Amino acid sequence: MNILLIEDDSVFAQTLMRRLISGGCTVSHAANSSEALLQARAVRPTHIILDMNLDSESGLALLAPLRALLPATRIVLLTGFASIATAVQAIKLGADDYLCKPASLAMILATLNGQASDDSVSEGIVMSPDRVEWEHIQAVLGRNDGNISKTARQLNMHRRTLQRKLQKKPVSS
């Protein structure tokens, strides 16, 4: 497997690269979007692991150019800030799959290979009620194109309460 890892966190990138290489993969790394496009043209990877937040850039913006450049390459978006809305958006923009950090190496490899990831059940990942609420808020917000007032009305919630909930980082599973 020839993988391009697009990740701005150098410590995480080095750790993941070591694990993938020890698993028999060939891995190249890019830390930002311009580097990623150059690497994609030069290396022609069969698989791409793309971080959603690249410093001040969004990995979502890279999906269309990567898909146009490498239509047969399997692209997996990896993020620490998962939501249903961004998962749907990522798939619409060209990602083949979407994984939440932290993800085990086995889960990453299975997803890269296009295998159904029922691993989340076997690994005991169950969403907390707070996480379910966060996911639901993100989904409704996405359907309303980011309109806070409309989303608050649909959720039967005060607009300021919704804004406070959105300012918090997503709760862990």
Read off the pLDDT of residues 87-122 as tens digits, 9 standing for 90 and up: 888 888 888 888 887 777 888 888 888 765 444 434
Q: What is the DSSP letter of 31?
A: S
Is residue 32 a part of any domain in this protein? yes
Q: Rounded to an integer, what distance in angstroms lies between the CA atom of residue 56 and that of residue 78?
A: 16
- Tell me how far apart the alpha carbons of residues 106 and 122 are, in angstroms, rounded to a whole number: 12
Indicate the range of 26-30, 36-40, 101-105 predicted with least confidence.
101-105
Residue 139 included in any domain: yes
Tell me what pLDDT residue 119 has: 44
20 vs 77, 79, 132, 152, CA distance in Å?
A: 16, 18, 31, 43
CATH number assigned to the domain comprising residue 157? 1.10.10.60
Question: Are residues 85 and 47 part of one domain?
Answer: yes
Instruction: Say if residue 112 is in the same domain as residue 135.
Output: no
Q: Which residues are registered as beta bridge partners of 57?
A: 54
Is 173 inside a domain boundary? Answer: no
Residue 82 has pLDDT above 80, yes or no: no
| pLDDT band at residue 123 using 50, 70 and 90 as cut-offs | very low
Q: Verify that 107 and 155 share a domain, yes or no.
A: no
User: Which H or E run includes 10?
Assistant: helix 10-22
The answer on pLDDT for 76 being more than 50 is yes
Find the CATH number of the domain harbouring 25. 3.40.50.2300
- Full residue range of the structural domain in which residue 161 is found: 129-167
Give the pLDDT score at 141.
85
Same domain, 13 and 97: yes
How many domains are there within the chain?
2
* % of the chain residues with pLDDT over 70: 87
Residue 172 lies in a domain: no
Cβ proximity of 159 and 149 under 8 Å = yes
Give how far Cα 169 sits from Cα of 56, 78, 110, 134, Å: 17, 17, 28, 9
Same structural domain, 134 and 111: no
- In terms of domains, do 104 and 145 share one? no
For the chain, the first-to-last Cα distance in angstroms comes to 30
Neighbours of 93 (CB within 10 A): 17
Contact 39, 28 (CB under 8 A): yes
135 and 107 fall within a common domain: no
pLDDT of residue 6: 94
Does residue 68 carry a pLDDT above 70? yes
- How far, in Å, are 1, 16, 118, 159 from residue 30 at the CA level? 17, 13, 29, 39
Mean pLDDT of the region 27-39: 92
Same domain, 39 and 106: yes
Residue 150 falls inside a structural domain:
yes
Mean pLDDT over 3-11 rounds to: 90
Rg (CA), the chain: 17
Domain check: are 68 and 133 in the same one?
A: no
Please report whether residue 124 resides in a domain.
Answer: no
Residues 90, 52 share a domain: yes
Does 106 lie in the same domain as 55? yes
Question: Which of the four pLDDT bands, split at 50, 70 and 90, describes residue 73?
Answer: very high
The fraction of the chain above a pLDDT of 90, given in percent, is: 32
- 88 and 64 in a common domain: yes
The pTM of the full predicted model, rounded to 2 decimals, is 0.67
